[in-house]
Amino acid sequence: MLKFWLRSVGIGIVAAIAVILTVPSLRAHIMPKGKADPATASTVQLSFNQAVHRAAPAVVNIYSRQYDRNNHQKLSTEGLGSGVIVSKKGYIITNYHVIAEADQIIVALQDGRIAAAQLVGKDKRTDLAVLRIEGDNLPVIPLNPNYKPSVGDVVLAIGNPYNLGQTTTFGIISATGRSSISQGRRQAFIQTDAAINAGNSGGALVNSRGELVGINTASYQQSNDIESYGISFAIPFTLANTIMQKIIADGRVIRGYIGVDGEDMNALTARRLNGEHIGGILVVGVDPHGPAHDAGFQLNDIIIKIDGKKIAGRQSVMETVTNLRPGTKVQVTLLRKGKEITVPVTIAEDTHD
């Protein structure tokens, strides 16, 4: 009989504990006032301290100096920006416009070290430049080649706005694949509402793990110069890394060129083709001096494949062609008046700024 009662009491206690743990309102009445539930308290606090701790040491301040026009032996600091150390060899990615007019470039690390930087190369079209500094135990920002930026991802912008010192701002990715935010720049940008101000240019946009997402480059402003908050842009790290590797290899960016201006097919055109070749691009212009003209491209041709691989829109074609070395021969499949034809094209070098 005693064992029966003990077992019944034990089952009752276990059941009561289970109910209390699963119903938060009961815990509020049972737990003493002034003592927070440790499990609940730990989930309330939200901090990106670890992400900043991982990334911030590799974000540097960049000062561009120019010779005085009246005294060529005197240097004065004229430009201000940020940069990101991405390699133990001391390579730094920043914006072209940060160092465009510099006669001397000074880099200040967060640990107090200061170094004169060597300009490895620059690319005006993507607004990117690569610097290099010498030093031991240089901090390197965490890189994750498998990370793909998505709308809604939390991001942090780290840089040196207005020379106030390193500052971190917080936001989310508002959009990806933004293009043509300024004249002549057609690459895909990451749009964010993290504040990017003067001096942030060239700094790091990182995710909640402190991994490099992009290089901060611009804030959107209306033509009447009224400042617009919450609309800033960054160059995706995948593009920045590609440009850096080309600059390191050749001292400049060598791009392929075929001389075609194209548009993504609209829904009506795609329906007329029974939904096929939806990723193709419509040829709306052909450079009379370019390889496409020599290969026989015509207006209203639809480019659907390059070397047998289906394309996925205008941006895809641009990236594929620009990454090809001049002199490379490719087979381009076109849809012309309902029939597929394949023409050989020899890639030329893009000499346009």
Query: How does pLDDT run across 170-198, given as a tens digit for each residue?
Result: 999 999 887 654 444 456 889 999 988 88
- Give the CATH number of the domain where residue 181 resides: 2.40.10.10
The verdict on 277 and 222 lying in the same domain is: no
Measured CA to CA, the distance from residue 259 to residue 29 in angstroms comes to 75
Using the 3D structure, point to which of 238, 267, 286 is the last residue of a domain.
238
Domain hosting residue 278, numbered range = 256-349
Considering the domain boundaries, does residue 176 fall inside one? yes
The domain total for the chain is: 3
Q: Which helix (H) or strand (E) holds 129?
A: strand 128-132
The verdict on 275 and 192 lying in the same domain is: no
Tens digits of residue pLDDT in 57-82: 999 999 998 887 776 667 777 778 99
**CA 128 to mean position of chain CA atoms:** 12
- Global pTM? 0.76
Considering the domain boundaries, does residue 144 fall inside one? no
Considering the domain boundaries, does residue 220 fall inside one? yes
pLDDT of residue 50: 95
The verdict on 272 and 212 lying in the same domain is: no
CA torsion through residues 66, 132, 61, 158, sign: positive
Using the 3D structure, point to which of 185, 206, 238 is the last residue of a domain.
238
- Give the CATH number of the domain where residue 335 resides: 2.30.42.10
Considering the domain boundaries, does residue 221 fall inside one? yes
97 annotated active-site? yes
The verdict on 216 and 273 lying in the same domain is: no
Considering the domain boundaries, does residue 216 fall inside one? yes
Considering the domain boundaries, does residue 139 fall inside one? no
DSSP, res 96: H
Tens digits of residue pLDDT in 18-45: 544 554 544 444 444 455 555 555 555 6
3-state secondary structure of 219: strand
The verdict on 262 and 221 lying in the same domain is: no
Tokens linked to 89: 């060899």
201 annotated active-site? yes
The verdict on 276 and 330 lying in the same domain is: yes
Q: Do the beta carbons of residue 67 and residue 75 sit within 8 Å?
A: yes
Indicate which residue of 64, 82, 174, 201 is catalytic.
201
The verdict on 229 and 196 lying in the same domain is: yes
Q: Print burial letters for 65-98: b (CB count within 10 Å at least 16), e (below 16).
A: beeeeeeeeeeeeebbbbbbbbbeebbbbbbbbb
The verdict on 209 and 274 lying in the same domain is: no
pLDDT of residue 222: 44
Indicate which residue of 127, 174, 219, 277 is catalytic.
127
Residues of the chain short of pLDDT 50, as ranges, are 2, 4-6, 9, 14, 19-20, 23, 25-33, 181-185, 222-224
Indicate which residue of 82, 97, 219, 350 is catalytic.
97
pLDDT of residue 184: 45
The verdict on 233 and 305 lying in the same domain is: no
E strands, 1-127, in order:
59-67, 75-85, 91-94, 104-108, 114-116, 118-123
250 annotated active-site? no
pLDDT of residue 31: 47
